[in-house]
Amino acid sequence: MKSDRAARRLSWISGLVLSASACGGSTMENGMPPVDQRLEVRTAQGVVRGRMQDGSRAFLGIAYAAPPVGENRFRAPQPPASYTAVFEASEYGPACPQLAKDKLDASTSEDCLTLNIWAPAKDATPRPVMVFVHGGGFNSGSGSLPLYEGTHLSATQDVAVVTLNYRLGPLGFFSHTALRTEERSGTGGGNFGLLDQQAALSWVHDNIAAFGGDAKNVTLFGESAGGMSVCYQLLSPKSAGLFHRAIVQSGPCSTLVPPTQSESEAQGDVLATQVGCAAGDAQATLRCLRQVPLAKLMTALPLKPEIIFGSGYAWTPSVGNDVLPMPPQAAFSAGRFHRMPIVVGANKDEGTAFVALGVKLDTEAEIRTALASLFPPPAVDAVIRHYGSTPIGADTGLRVLGDAFVCDARRLARWTSTVVPTFYYHFTREFAYLLPNLGAFHGAELPYLFHTPLEFVTIKPHEEGFSAQLQSLWARFAATGNPNGMANVDWPAYDRIGDRSLRLDLETRSETGLRRADCDFWDMLLP
């Protein structure tokens, strides 16, 4: 029993890393119960019917794009079909294809481009909209995971909450020179997962008013690969005007440098060869790739664990195309990003979850091997010298990996704070009762933010106030662009001289100079 429970806990952690209506009702007719008119909403595609859920209206599994199957595989998302009857939006749609123990997860489907909406039940002026992008290393995850269920956040903070699916792995981030010949593809970059996110934001812009949301006040937030996605959407010309505030949670978008267009296309060539689609002209290659059985396509190349560690292939966004013209470091440092208020931060013990999942950082040799996946040899030597304790072991490895997140967040805050209001946080609340020595691990803020306790991550009675505070900070920022306004919380806007951050814990307080010496080192290593 204990081993089964531990397996479920690690599976959950892996998911984090990788991972206008009237009020009346009709009378009963033909023996059927009356329809609550608040639960029927007309969208551009037709009427959808949701369900009441703990003080919130839930509308689940709504298609924001056509199924990316057949001729639409490896194409930009296409408009969704219209409904000929009321669409019952009471169940989640399937997750996008991903692997489970190196095999295709049979519960997933290519027909996966759906979103979920939680809206307050009471009538009021248009609410702020909070659109969440899930993590999972761009290879796993779903907007329908229980951890991201938006009922509590919506009902208690009076906001509309949206989660979404986007294409993952090779389906989401495959690139190939043959795609350049396709005018309908909309991009030569193959960043289909990012284009899906933009299509979902566009659907929200066009339809959210019918659910009581304010299309002119949309906050995009995400964690891990979802945080990196928010970062990339801040840089993408194609996302201009689709959101108005951004929250980047543990998304190291300047430390993990995306592959170039040519590097991504080279990997696409390897995949095409592996599945037998390399011969012939561009049209023949694409025709072949679109006919490859899903399981064969998804398992053709071994995945690199946790995006960066070990051998294998990583499917991630690429740069040097019309979706992401410039690398994040160059774009942010040059001020070439969408101007809006930003919250950015990371957790105190970012590295522990990766180690719990099998990343080896116990010796100097293992630390060097991990760093070599990111940096050239001189940079690896510099890291070892900076963190060099005797002996160099697991504690050093956790510091290095943790600072890669924390210092990336400070770097982003330094770039953006010169032109837009920026708020920098450090999450330190530990799950001492979850697994030994995990601390405030990667993704530990999510159960508090969504108030979605699971079997092994329960919000204790003395933590309820902290969860409410965290929700309120995020919701206030979504409403106004400034998280301040609560009693006993002073979150100063970030500036380089003050170097102030907000420590998020049972006793939330402002701090100065978070890991300053180490972060100064990373800024020199990654200028």
Catalytically annotated residues? 224, 350, 442
CB 361 within 8 A of CB 401: yes
| Distance of alpha carbon 163 from alpha carbon 374, whole angstroms | 31
Name beta bridge partners: 59. Answer: 117
Helix (H) or strand (E) holding 87: strand 87-88
Largest Cα–Cα separation, the chain = 79
Report the first-to-last Cα separation within the chain, whole angstroms: 49
Burial of 42 (0-12, 13-18, 19+ CB in 10 A): middle
Check the CA dihedral 159-460-164-318 and report its sign: positive
Name the DSSP letter for residue 483: -
Q: Which helix (H) or strand (E) holds 331?
A: helix 328-333
Determine the angle formed by the axes of helices 516-525 and 394-416, rounding to 10 degrees.
80
For the CA atoms of 349, 355, 357, 363, the dihedral, rounded to the nearest 10 degrees, stands at 170
Task: Find the helix or strand (DSSP H, E) in which 169 lies.
Answer: helix 169-173
Instruction: Establish how many alpha carbons lie within 13 A of residue 118's alpha carbon, considering only the half-sphere containing its beta carbon.
Output: 26
